[in-house]
Amino acid sequence: MSLLQIYESDFGEHSVEFSSLLIDLKEHCENYTKAKQTAQKERMLIIGKVDEFKSTFPQRSKEHRALYKAMEDEGWSDDVIYNNRLAYKAYKGLLAMHESHQAKHFLSKATVSHLMLMEQGICFFELRRYLRRHKKLPPISALRGRLGGFFDETFQPLSRFRTNW
């Protein structure tokens, strides 16, 4: 459970001292979360631009190895690099297809995980409709459930329609 989730939980179950600590920490936690999301988006842009360079100049394997070694030295695993490549493809696709204000607003709210799952098959228009209705994007677990077929187009579980077994 993250600190922001603890903060958003009911204060009635916590002591007065703990509640005051959470109030003191709230601003710092929000700043940390924003900085972490910004860093993840910057990492996605770095990996995406390196991937574009590799596809533009495929004959420069020595430079490719140097870039890959630099990413390894940063501590980025192969999975992180692959997921960020997917997210960058979705990012570029959104910028190319939707030059509108809505797409830019969506990109400001979306995390790297949202973009990665969009590239894997989540529809942009469903996400935009959800964003307009709820003023935030659906959780990542709901997006994964949508990909798996367990959630509907409003990102609600299909099991809510089941009756008593």
Per-residue pLDDT of 67-112, as tens digits, reads: 999 999 999 999 999 999 999 999 998 888 766 677 778 888 899 9
Q: Considering just the CA atoms, what is the radius of gyration of the chain in Å?
A: 20
Q: Among all chains, which residue has been given the structure tokens 């009756």?
A: 163
Question: Hey, what are 96's tokens?
Answer: 């190319």
Q: For residue 77, which of 47, 113, 110 has the smallest C-alpha distance? A: 47
Cα–Cα distance for residue pair 55/36, rounded to 1 Å: 29
Q: What percent of the chain has pLDDT over 90?
A: 44
**Tens digits of residue pLDDT in 11-29:** 557 678 887 888 888 888 8
Distances from the Cα of 141 to the Cαs of 79, 103, 115, 138, 160, in angstroms? 19, 22, 14, 8, 16
- Provide the whole-model pTM: 0.78
User: What digits encode the pLDDT tens for the residues 150-165?
Assistant: 888 888 888 876 655 4
